[in-house]
Amino acid sequence: MRLKSLFNKTCERIDRKILYPFLAKKRAKGLKCTDFTIISNNCWAGKCYEFFGLPKLSPTVGGYFFASDYVKFCENLKYYMSLDLEIIPTNESKYYDTLLSLGQENVFVGILEDVEIIFLHYHNKDVLLEKWKRRVSRINWDKLILKFSYQNECDDDLIRRFLKIEEFPKFCLVGESITNHRDEIVFCRNKGKETIEETENFNWYIDPVKIINERL
């Protein structure tokens, strides 16, 4: 399993760094439109934009949420997006103990009132805030898709809450079906109900073109 995981990650890195630039335009031709916004609970949206060679029209690129915060965020998305993002010391995060256990005690933690976003891929606070503001201004509210997955302290009730959101098109990646809802998509690389390797192997087990087109 360990060797396979290393092999998968190596293949994904080669695919993203070498093949993506050559294949992105061809992949994007299969999309109904290319100016959509994906709000994601983790780095899936960023991989999606890179896969198609598209501008990142989502401020959540480069960060992840713990599941309860993400569902709350999506249930009142326009309100939370109207707030200014603040950066707090990691040791003030309500998830500090978990971040410590994950070796993420030095990441940036953004906060929107009572919702926290963990930013893994930034090394400069000013750059993070500038990109956040720019990408918030780019959100296409008329072509916005919510994406969730069974990760980061998720449970069945949070999946059910997410699937009840009606304001925006949505989909949820799960390791095994929980509700048989039309927006549940079983991601076959799984660990029970939890989805794993969904960003490392972005397009290995699902068809992102089909998923996006069905929701635009």
Pick from 65, 74, 149: which is nearest to 107 by CA? 65
Q: What pLDDT, in 10s, does the model give residues 66-115?
A: 999 999 999 999 999 999 999 999 999 999 999 999 999 999 999 999 99
pLDDT score at 4: 47
132, two tokens: 């956040």
Contacting residues for 134 by C-beta, under 8 A, at least 6 apart = none
What distance in Å separates the CA atoms of residue 87 and residue 140, rounded to the nearest whole number?
25
- For the segment 12-29, the average pLDDT, to the nearest whole number, is 70
- pLDDT above 50: residue 38: yes
Q: What is the dihedral of CA 5, 102, 132, 91, to 10 degrees?
A: -170
pLDDT score at 21: 66
What distance in Å separates the CA atoms of residue 159 and residue 70, rounded to the nearest whole number?
11
Q: Is the torsion defined by CA of 151, 155, 160, 166 positive or negative?
A: negative
186: which strand partners? 174
